[in-house]
Copies of this chain bind each other. A is one copy, B any other.
């Protein structure tokens, strides 16, 4: 099945939480450009050969909607991204009319202060989106700002307890988890592209399984951690001892500002650090820093220094500098994940999709962090999906 739109096929909804942000806007502009034949699928993993036969919904059959706390129109955000060099200006012009039309599916994020009422609103918005557009299914993708880690609460252990706490208006869930809860209650898949708590609570896992919906996460692996996830296994397989690994991330844009906030920063650096322990079997010393440099805008520069010991104590070094554009790295993965989670939902999978670890900095517990193992598992997942018939439209 092509990555482009197919005649007569079902349509799949993608509900973006943080819909007016850089990642979401790039995702939507990109999908419209691909549908119009104005852009190719570079950067999309699911456009590669191993995914050709596994029945994914076409990019052109995705319908977008979402919530955001801001009011910036997509057209204006897209222009900003073009000015910042993330999007080509000609593409933004070319999809302008469709982008403006798509705007009609955006809704103001609920912020009543009562998580139970917020969840109700999200559920209503999701169901209305699905019905209005005749969608076969909907995947909710969390691409809003990184939150601080959620405070523990005993209602996290059990779906019923959580439902009661929400109904009572207790501040028991952070926003990312309110969305995850709502997604599950509305029968929608859920993807956490950030290090925020999202669906990663036992009560939410219960809800997902009970409702038969799949979810995946967390924290999209777009840049520096991606490189780590191949260099660390290389060191391990060569039996080289990594004596320190220092990481510095400089970034501007909204992310830079959010991550200048200590609690969000702590969530993110914790997520970034996991790959080393998981692939090396130990944690080398060395800082993991995320600093805001507004001038960099949507660009990001990361510098990593590894020191390592070889045979007979030889001391060696490797450093790399990554100069990426986060939104351009994230957006195609959002499309990939939406396609894969929607198809898994169709194929009857529910609960956490561990096979999607390839896409995440902080995948499900016990899943490998080295990219090659994750790739192998992802390809096997695609092969499995290929054996399950696609439902007729």
Contacts and interface: CB of A to CB of B under 8 A. Distances in A.
A325 B316 CA distance: 7
A103 interface: no
Nearest to A378: B237
Interface in A343-393: 358, 370-373, 375-376
Interface in A226-252: 226-227, 230-231, 233-234, 237-241, 243-244, 246, 248, 250
Given A233-B230, A233-B372, A295-B285, A248 B303 contact: yes
B39 A312 contact: yes
Given A230-B230, A323-B318, A371-B234, A313 B88 contact: yes
A174 interface: no
B45 A309 contact: no
B287 A43 contact: no
Interface stretch (A185-193, A263-271, A328-336): A328-336
Interface string A38-50: 0101111101100
A148 interface: no
A307 B295 contact: yes
A310 B332 contact: yes
Interface string A160-185: 00000000000000000000000000
A303 B301 contact: no
Closest 7 pairs (CB-CB, A-B):
A372-B372, A314-B328, A43-B311, A320-B320, A230-B230, A287-B291, A244-B295
Given A230-B231, A316-B325, 8 more contacts: A29-B312, A85-B314, A237-B358, A244-B294, A285-B294, A303-B305, A303-B319, A312-B328
30 contacts: A26-B311, A39-B312, A39-B313, A43-B312, A44-B311, A45-B238, A86-B314, A89-B89, A227-B234, A227-B318, A230-B234, A234-B371, A237-B371, A244-B293, A250-B286, A250-B305, A285-B293, A285-B294, A287-B289, A287-B293, A289-B291, A293-B307, A301-B305, A311-B331, A314-B328, A314-B329, A318-B320, A318-B322, A372-B373, A372-B375
